[in-house]
Copies of this chain bind each other. A is one copy, B any other.
C-alpha cells in the first residue's frame, strides 16, 4: 500500500510536469524510487497508472472538517477551488479526468466519487430542513459535479483559475433557488472561507 501510494504521487507529479504524452514509466519509477518489479506488481501499463491517478482525487485532497449540511457543501466548492490552485497532484488528477481522450478510457469514477461526497452533504442539509421538498438529491449531486467541472475549466481558460471563486458565487446564485429554502439561502455565506462577505 505504501509503495502504491508513492507511485501514485510520483505519477501525478511527472504527469503534471510533462503532460500525459510526455510522462514515461521510467521517469515515474525514478521519482518514486521503485524497481521495475515493484512498479509492475502494482501497475502493468502507463494507461493503468494514469487511470489510477485520475481516480485517486479523494486521496490527493484533504478538505477541512466541518458540520455536514448546506454551508459545508458550499464551503467545499471554494476549498476545492483553492486546492486546484495550489495542489499540483490534485490538478494533474483532475486534468486526466477531463482529458481522457488522450489516453483512452471512458471512466467516470472521479466524477461519481465527487457526486457521492456532495450527496452526503445534501442528505445532511435535507435532514436539517435546509432544502426544498421533493428534490432528487442524487440528480442534484450529478448536476453540481457537471456544473463545477465546466466552471473550473472555463475559469482555467479565462484566467488560469484566478476568477474561479467569483464564478462559483455566480454558479451558486443560479443553483440555490431550485435547491434550498429562502431562509437557508439567506443564512449562507457564499465565498472563500475567511473572505468575509460574498464577492
Contacts and interface: CB of A to CB of B under 8 A. Distances in A.
Interface of A: 19-21, 95, 97-102, 106-108, 110-112, 139-140, 142-143, 145-151, 153-160, 167, 170-171, 173-179
Q: How many copies of the polypeptide does the oligomer hold?
A: 2
25 contacts: A19-B101, A19-B102, A97-B157, A98-B99, A99-B101, A100-B156, A102-B102, A107-B157, A108-B154, A111-B157, A140-B174, A142-B167, A145-B150, A146-B147, A146-B150, A146-B153, A146-B154, A146-B167, A146-B171, A147-B150, A148-B150, A150-B150, A150-B153, A174-B178, A175-B175
Contacts of A150: 145-151, 153
A153 B171 CA distance: 18
A183 B99 CA distance: 40
Contacts of A149: 149-150, 153-154
Contacts of A106: 156-160
Main secondary structure of the interface of A (DSSP, over half): helix
Nearest to A100: B157
Contacts of A155: 146
Contacts of A139: 170, 173-174
Given A19-B101, A101-B19, A145 B140 contact: no
A146 B106 CA distance: 21
Contact of A21 (B21, B95, B160): B21
Contacts of A100: 156-157
Contact of A108 (B21, B158, B179): B158
Contact of A178 (B97, B147, B153, B173): B173
A-B residue pairs, 8 tightest by C-beta: A150-B150, A149-B150, A146-B151, A108-B157, A147-B147, A108-B158, A146-B150, A177-B178
A143 B102 CA distance: 27
Max chain B Cβ within 10 angstroms of own Cβ: one of A20, A142, A154, A160: A154
